[in-house]
Amino acid sequence: MSIHGFMTHATTIIAYTYEADYHCVACARKRFAIKRTGTVNVDCNDIPIEQQDCEGNTIGVIFATDPDETIHCGDCHGLIYDFD
């Protein structure tokens, strides 16, 4: 499987869902990433596992095999996944 020319696996995180929209990894990292300290569980992108958005919802993870439609980032508007 390839996304934007990069090989991916089923467990590759390609996006996050929060505040009722999709967000690319880069934008989610800018907003939520923390330095690994060993006291907080973080995913492979340094985003806390139980992180909540401003609406009080836990951030969702979109894996490479999840999309069934074309999705864009709600912040930068970049293409995350092209279903075509």
How does the average pLDDT of the chain come out, rounded?
87
Percentage of residues of the chain with pLDDT beyond 70:
89
Structural tokens at position 14: 């390609």
List, for residues 33-57, the tens digit of each pLDDT value.
Answer: 988 777 788 998 999 988 999 999 9
pTM of the model as a whole: 0.83
Distance CA 17, CA 19 (A): 7
pLDDT interval class at 24 (50, 70, 90): very high
For the record, the structure tokens of 58 come out as 């836990």
Q: What is the pLDDT of residues 6-22, one digit of tens each?
A: 455 678 899 999 999 99
